[in-house]
Amino acid sequence: MPMHKIEVRAGTVAEAVAQALAQLGKDEEDAIIEVLSQNADFAVVRVSVDDDTEGDEEPDAPEEGEQSSRRRRRRVPNADEDTVELARSILEDLLKHMQIEAFVTPVVQTVEGPDGEPEQNLTLHIEGVDEETTGLMIGRRGETLRSLQYLVNLLIHRQGSRWPQVVIDIGQYRQRRQDSLEGLAFRMAERVRQSGRPMPLEPMSSFERRVIHMALRNDPSVYTESAGEGEQRKIIIFPAKGR
């Protein structure tokens, strides 16, 4: 079926999606939304719609109280849409209990996995909160955000979710942290190359360790391994064998 696609760049994923849908004259449930790029400064999305839907009648207006939920619902390519909606609903309910006024934008991205094969990641972006609330929700070194993420994943998995893990982000914290960790990985790898000795990093979460592994996996001069248990699990960067 022919598709019409446009790409839009804006400050956040939500803003880019809104602009693209406005240009296409479509609702989110009529579109396929892909995040092409995202960092602390901007996001780029591709929005696709069926060309043969241009003449369709306008859908019935949502009942009062349903509009905000419908506005944020989106079709996700090759993903379990029921689980995406479940994850969004669980997080929004938790935010309400925390007396935090916000909305959640679910985004599914296809990325390259550790084995080189494509895999899908589901990220729930918390948006619409001020800087003070954002800082409180992130916590020291992301501890509060990780605790909230753990709770959401626990509730999702109890209902039979097929997602290995759902990531929660706010204020582009994950992207900023990823950029920082990649810089750290490259600097430490250079030290290992110069000294010829292994170098352990500080204990990190599974997300942070994965960033280090992925950043250095194509560097032939070093290799990485995880060591330790629980909260003390860390990455060690080794010089390549034979060097």
Q: What is the pLDDT of residue 28?
A: 64
What span, in angstroms and rounded, lies between the C-alpha atoms of 112 and 66? Answer: 36
What span, in angstroms and rounded, lies between the C-alpha atoms of 217 and 186? Answer: 11
**How confident is the model over 160-170, as pLDDT tens digits?**
766 667 889 99
Strands 103-112, 32-38: pairing kind: unpaired
Residues in the chain: 243
User: Domains along the chain?
Assistant: 1-56 (no CATH), 76-171 (3.30.300.20), 175-239 (3.30.1370.50)
What span, in angstroms and rounded, lies between the C-alpha atoms of 210 and 107? Answer: 20
Q: What is the pLDDT of residue 154?
A: 86
Q: What is the pLDDT of residue 222?
A: 94
The stretch 102-116 carries a mean pLDDT of 74
Please name the amino acid found at residue 198: P
**3-state class of 1 per DSSP?**
coil
Please give the C-alpha separations between residue 97 and each of 81, 90, 127, 229, in angstroms, as whole numbers: 25, 11, 16, 33
Q: What is the pLDDT of residue 236?
A: 95
